[in-house]
Amino acid sequence: MQPIVLGANMPDTFYRGAGRIGRLRGVAFSDKPEDWVASTTTRIAQGTDGMTRLADGSLLADAIAADPDGWLGSEHVARYGPDTALLVKLLDAGQRLPVHVHPGRAFAAKHLASPYGKTEAWVIIEAAPNAAVYLGFSREVPASELARWVRDQDIESMLGATNRVPVSAGDSILCPAGTPHAIGEGILVVELQEPTDFSLILEWRDFGLGPDDVAFGLPMDEALGCVNRQAFSAARLDALRGRPLNQAAGSLLPGEADPFFIAERVTGGSLSASYGVLIVTSGSGTLTTESGSSVPLRRGSTVVIPFAAGRCTLDGTLQAVRCLPATP
């Protein structure tokens, strides 16, 4: 089993990109804002839409199901079954995303019949001047006030009560499930997530959506139960920041991310045997497997690496983000 360099997998969505994914990949311009990399996750209620297809047209999910130990390793399979337990995206915010929330695991198990919620993290590859993300409420918000904002689509009050966090290229930030958040315009990220498409969209007024489109099929008052309405202090926001991408190789995210996924900056040398997704953010080089098979890489390459490829070696001038599921 060998690493596979993947083509783009860009399902339609409701907000705009700005061509940053195409420019990163060095392919024809596309303003689609999301590339679901090595995805075994389907868009909610959309069949196989969102799932990665291999060069022969087959689904990556089917290949993994046919040989889960080879793809994922026996320890991973014992813990998670034939499931990668990870979704990786490239996300290009051509406009500010709406304020939205992803449910946690307890809410998802009770209301959505899923063992996964949607904690996520952002490794910022590009950011326009004065770029920012919005993360958590700046004060405690009563349930009745939140419900009124959503019902009336009072975006000014909603956004005004959400922390604006300035960001630059190289920053990494964890967004725990339940956190109200939005990615601002002009940002390209590598996004690690739990493998679901659950989003409660609190702000739909200017995005061509309506109240029936935004609450994963639940009544709105029930869906709002997944929102963390507590205040995020400056100390809490600081704790959600990871290590900058331009620092020494190793883990990028705070330890709070470890039960969900791992993001590493890699620039060369040996990679431990593991299922993983590699996003090359700059330079070029070669990925060589334990058996001696080599795969050429360049800026914008996205690669899925099976466990059975063994310990791999990176050579060259490249820098990449290695995305891994949580350690079993």
139 located within any domain: yes
- What is the model's pLDDT at position 28? 75
- What is the model's pLDDT at position 118? 98
Q: Do 214 and 241 fall within a single domain?
A: yes
206 located within any domain: yes
Q: Do 183 and 305 fall within a single domain?
A: no
Domain that includes residue 38, residue range: 4-246
- What is the model's pLDDT at position 45? 67
Backbone angles phi, psi at 239, to 5 degrees: -70, -20
Q: Do 220 and 278 fall within a single domain?
A: no
- Please tell me the total count of domains within the chain: 2
- What is the model's pLDDT at position 30? 77
Q: Do 228 and 270 fall within a single domain?
A: no
Cα–Cα distance, 241 to 48 (Å, whole number): 34
Q: Do 33 and 142 fall within a single domain?
A: yes
Contact present, 148 and 89 (Cβ < 8 Å): no
203 located within any domain: yes
- What is the model's pLDDT at position 316? 96
256 located within any domain: no
Strands (E), 95-226: 100-101, 120-127, 132-137, 162-166, 172-175, 181-183, 187-193, 200-201
User: Residue 69 is encoded by which pair of tokens?
Assistant: 């130990």
pLDDT per residue rounded down to tens, the chain (328 residues) = 899 999 999 999 999 999 999 999 988 767 899 999 999 999 976 789 999 999 999 999 999 999 999 999 999 999 999 999 999 999 999 999 999 999 999 999 999 999 999 999 999 999 999 999 999 999 999 999 999 999 999 999 999 999 999 999 999 999 999 999 999 999 999 999 999 999 999 999 999 999 988 999 999 999 999 999 999 999 999 999 999 998 867 899 999 999 999 999 999 899 999 999 999 999 999 999 999 999 999 999 999 999 999 999 999 999 999 999 999 8
Q: Do 204 and 297 fall within a single domain?
A: no
Q: Do 79 and 15 fall within a single domain?
A: yes
User: Residue 282 is encoded by which pair of tokens?
Assistant: 């700059």
Q: Do 92 and 30 fall within a single domain?
A: yes
Query: C-alpha dihedral over 132, 137, 138, 143, to 10 degrees?
Result: 160
Q: Decide which of 216, 246, 276 is a domain's last residue.
A: 246
Q: Do 235 and 266 fall within a single domain?
A: no
